[in-house]
Amino acid sequence: MAILRYALYRFATMLLTLLVVSGLVFVIINLPPGDYLSNQIAELRATGQSAGVAKAEFLRTEYALDRPLYQQYLIWIGFIPGPHGFSGLIQGNFGWSFEFDNPVAEIVGDTLWLTVLVNLAAVLFVYMVALPLGVLAAAKSKTWVDYTSAFVGYLGLATPNFLLALIMFYYGHKYFDLPIGGLMDPIYEGEPMSWEKTKSILIHLIVPTFVIGTSGAAGMMQRLRANLLDELGKPYVDTAIAKGMHPVRMLTKYPLRMAFNPFVADIGNLLPSMISGSVLVSVVLGLQTIGPTLLTALKTQDLFLSGFVLMFVALLTLVGTMVSDVLLVLLDPRIQYEGRET
Amino acid sequence: MTPLLTVEDLSVGFGRGESVVKNISFKVHPGETLALVGESGSGKTVTCRAVLRILPRVAQIRTGRVTLNGPDGLIELSTLGDRAMRKVRGNLVSMIFQEPMRSLSPLHRIGNQVAEVLWIHRGASEKSARREVLDTFEKVGFPDPERAYRSYPFELSGGMQQRAMIAMAMVSKPDLLIADEPTTALDVTTQAQVLGLMKDLQRETGMAMVLVTHDLGVVANMAEQVVVMRKGRVMESGAAEPLLRAPAHPYTQQLFDAAPTIPATPKLAPPMPDDDLILQLKSVSKTYTLRASSMFKPDVLIHACRGVDLNLPRGKTLAIVGESGSGKTTAARVALGAEPPDEGGEVLFRSNPDGEPVAVHKMNRAARTAFQRQAQMVFQDPYSSLSPRMRIQAAMTEPLEIHNIGSRAEQYDKAVAMLRQVGLNEGMLKRFPHAFSGGQRQRLSIARALMLDPSLLVCDEPTSALDVSVQDQILTLLEDIRDKMNLSYLFISHDLAVVARIADEVAVMRQGLVVEQAPPDTLFYNPKHPYTKALIAAQPTPDIDRPINLKLVAQGAGSADSWPEAFRFTDDVIPSLTQLEPGHKVRCHV
């Protein structure tokens, strides 16, 4: 029960953090001089298209961009009514994208879930690769197993992701007939979910997962190896051996449990670094993830679109940290939380 | 009778280096205790680990045989296959290590870790193992076995953790127990109790023991057979009694001479003079507040020091003795001005006999800088108190640079002079700390503390990380420079025997209170307080005729409620420190 209370408490602090982040995001987006519409108005004026100017001016009042910054922020979040009453993030209205001339919700729509999908797949890949390889490298440290995995790992770390993407692209297609680009066969786009569509998505996921996950897996593997090696030198390992435990059982029950903490704590960090890191990969592989959209939105100062995407990334990060915090408390009895029974 | 364990001509080496254990042979008979005695680097730990082959991967057993007389005949442990070896470990032969905190997994409950032995070797079910483990917990002295079963190691004290380790080693009723410095990390009264427990269990089960230790006092209390080791070789071995009464080998003799002891026939000593006090602690209390876990519970107050009054005359040594958590270090920190005392307490420092005493905690900036020059500190662990990235020269001259004293050449000359003072030479200035042994490092720490010509040295357990023979040298050095340079020492220690030698007056602390205070000889001659008596009784002496008196230990080492009426104190009612005879004060109700 105590753990449930702790999870609730962490959830509450997460919401608070999210609020602070929203303020920061809004301020930072507004730091560069001008906004999408004023840039457009200036451009239209210069080319003498007064009709467009009128439309842009209309949009300015429509989205309250003529109000002071703090009011704009509060309207955006949905704390105070805008020109059309309460209609902000907490009411579920994500705003209007000027660049694409469409509601933000419509533009990000599917890509949002595909982003989550691609990145979750990459995180799973990272853990599934790093865990066995890291343990193996530590258990067989200073042998060819260790050296080989370290070499492959460093290769993975050192290769730029987009380059890896291009290589995978070419050879994957040539030898394994893996599909090129996109997250599903074009014929399924816009279609309702079906078995065939799922299969297509899964096959398309192979290359991006590998590309995005490789460097993370390599880093994680090295960290796990180093942690585990540290733990293997500790006296409680001798105690376990002196009990007559089988080495494999001993390794998994004691040192691995200890080495696991940083492994779990990394979940929170992994998500955002992957999302921002995978922008280039998404461009190269033509994935409909949120990365390329964010890039365009930031370049054109598309206020609501970039704001929403940044908030989404922040949310993923915070959820990741929350999950890892709760997991850590479950894993390590030494971590105290409020109301813990002793 | 066939010996239980036979070690013949055993040599162990690391990598390609020279062997660290060279042609060792000994025998252990059933029910008997053999002590492997030696200083650090003597190979005693490697020897005992080689029996169960729990060695680093680079270590190899180069020659020799280790044979165990098991229930089904002889087992040659040195060539046994891995699978068969696992059946011996924890089952026929079990092992206890030095640091209980680090030797238990912090993430698993004690019960789980102990019961695991039975799961592995008996294939016992969770339930039947539990019953047996609870029985063993009862035997090793856990007041509440059920609770201990559920506890995590960090919820237990050091002594209780070591009891859990002993329970883990005993639960399978092994024929042989190997204990590698099982009590070195424990307080002296806890050590006495754990040693007593091990002896009782041995008597009950008839198991044999190999006890690795550096402490001849422990040997005298525990062993029937002794093997003295040095640099991987056996110096002397044989039955404990004749060997301890008349050591034949000069090295054994040397160990005896170095071992600090409480004098067997102490005399009454005159009290310290109190006309020229360099440092004076006046009703110093220090309370820490532990934030409560919930808003509705009050904060917990921890009284680290309660009304401590101490006087240190110039040129003398005042020792504060107590176990971990007794408040001795807090008192020293307050005395140095590192922490302010609670309201009403005061620390007075008088830099020279003619000067006025100044309150350490009310000094202005300039006075404080001057005070910091005059009061220096020597720390416990010489390995972590010297920066590994600084050359000795830089470490030595740094205090002078901070205080802007002298030119570079003068600073260098001073460093050379101080190195000579502590028995090192000029050539060592260019080296890094890793090139020095523990004893040399402690000399360096002392030399560095002397760089600013202090008049007061606070020594926080300066010898407890060192071997006995090195400890002896450091104590001699401290005595020499005290007399030569007219220094005054505030000496913090947990070891009455060390203090017996160097101190002019001893204050025994318990739970933040000074419970008894007197010159050491008076204290040993006529100890009044049950806790002081327990400390003295618990001290293992390398004299076979003076075994540890467990009864006295048990009477005094418990909580204050278990003391006789006259000495008892509670949170509110604290008896005052009463003068019994000149210079001898005891905290009791008169």
Residue B235, pLDDT > 50, answer yes
| Domain, as residue range, for B406 | 277-526+559-587
Backbone angles phi, psi at A123, to 5 degrees: -60, -45
Instruction: Please count the structural domains in chain B.
Output: 3
Is A246 part of the contact surface with chain B (CB cutoff 8 Å)?
yes
Contacts of A339 in chain B (CB under 8 A): 293-294
Residue from the list A235, A253, A258 with its beta carbon closest to the beta carbon of B103: A235
Which of B86, B89, B105 minimises the CB distance to A236?
Answer: B105
Contact B324, B190 (CB under 8 A): no
Report the CATH number at residue A166.
1.10.3720.10
Same domain? For B455 and B520 the reply is: yes
A240 and B105 within 8 Å at the Cβ level: the answer is yes
The tokens describing A247, both together, are 């080495």
What's the CATH code of the domain at B215? 3.40.50.300
A334–B108 C-beta distance less than 8 A:
no
Is position A33 within any domain? no
Show which of residues 100-139 on chain A sit within 8 Å of chain B, judged by CB atoms: none
Identify the contact set of chain B against chain A, taking CB-CB distances under 8 A.
Answer: 52, 54, 86-91, 94-95, 97-99, 102-108, 116-117, 120-121, 152, 154-155, 165, 168, 293-294
| A81–B contact, CB cutoff 8 A | no
Strands (E), chain A: 96-97, 102-103
Task: Reduce the DSSP state of residue B550 to 3 states and report it.
Answer: helix
Whole-number Å distance between alpha carbons of B414 and B399? 11
In a domain, A274, yes or no: yes
Query: A80 — phi, psi (to 5°)?
Result: -125, 155
pLDDT(B554) > 50:
yes
Claim to verify: residue B155 and residue B178 sit in the same structural domain: no
Q: Report whether A141 contacts A231 (CB < 8 A).
A: no
The answer on B192 and B151 residing in a single domain is no
Can you read off the two tokens belonging to residue B90? 């924890």
Query: A257 and B165 in contact by Cβ < 8 A?
Result: no
Flag whether A143 is in a domain. yes
Asked if B321 and B536 count as a contact pair (C-beta separation under 8 A), the reply is no
B406: left (phi over 0), alpha (psi -120 to 50) or beta: left
Q: pLDDT of chain A along its 342 residues, tens only?
A: 678 888 898 899 999 999 999 999 999 888 887 777 777 778 887 877 777 777 778 877 877 788 888 888 888 888 888 777 787 888 888 888 888 888 888 888 777 888 888 888 888 898 898 889 889 999 888 889 889 888 888 888 888 888 888 888 788 888 877 776 677 777 777 677 778 888 888 888 888 888 888 888 888 888 899 999 989 989 999 999 999 999 999 998 999 988 888 888 887 777 777 777 777 788 877 777 787 888 888 888 788 888 888 888 888 888 888 888 888 888 888 876 544 443
My answer on whether B42 and B107 are in the same domain is no
B-contacting residues of A 222-241, CB under 8 Å? Answer: 234-236, 238-241
Distance CA B442, CA B444 (A): 5
Is residue A234 domain-resident?
Answer: yes
Count Cβ neighbours within 10 Å for each residue of B477-507 and write b for 16 or more, e otherwise: bbeebbeeeebbbbbbbbbbbbbbbbbbbbb
Q: How far apart are CA B66 and CA B80, in angstroms?
A: 10
> In which domain, by residue range, is A242 found?
114-300
Closest approach of B431 to chain A, Cα-based (Å): 29
Q: For residues B220 and B195, state if they share a domain.
A: yes
Residues 6+ apart with CB under 8 A from A232: A138, A251, A255
How close, in Å, is residue A328 to chain B by CA atoms? 12
Reported as a pLDDT band with limits 50, 70 and 90, residue B447 is: very high
Q: Which of B97, B106, B152 sits opposite A238 (nearest CB)?
A: B97
Phi, psi of B375 (to 5 degrees): -115, 115
Which two tokens mark B241?
Answer: 């009694």
Judge contact between B475 and B501, C-beta under 8 A: yes
Asked whether the beta carbons of residue B107 and residue A241 sit closer than 8 angstroms, the reply is no
Query: A80 near A71, Cβ under 8 Å?
Result: yes
Closest Cβ–Cβ partner in A234, A239, A258 for B107? A258
Nearest CA in chain A to B120: A245
Indicate which of A236, A251, A257, A334 best probes the interface with B, i.e. most B CBs within 10 Å of its own CB. Answer: A236
Percent of chain B with pLDDT over 70: 99
Together in a domain, B209 and B354: no
Report yes or no: A242 at the B interface, CB cutoff 8 Å.
yes
Task: Please say whether the beta carbons of B61 and B50 come within 8 A.
Answer: yes
* pLDDT higher at B410 or B466: B410
Rounded Cα–Cα distance for residues B548 and B545 (Å): 10
Ramachandran region, residue B486 (left: φ > 0; alpha: ψ -120 to 50; beta: rest): left
Confidence (pLDDT) at B294: 59
B579 φ/ψ angles, rounded to the nearest 5 degrees:
-80, 120
Record the pTM.
0.81
Residues forming a β-bridge with B320? B492, B507
Per DSSP, the three-state class of A129 is helix
Inter-chain contact B120–A244, Cβ cutoff 8 Å?
yes
Clarify whether residues B168 and B180 are in a common domain: no
Interface confidence, given as ipTM, is 0.80
d(CA A9, CA A338): 9
In a domain, B389, yes or no: yes
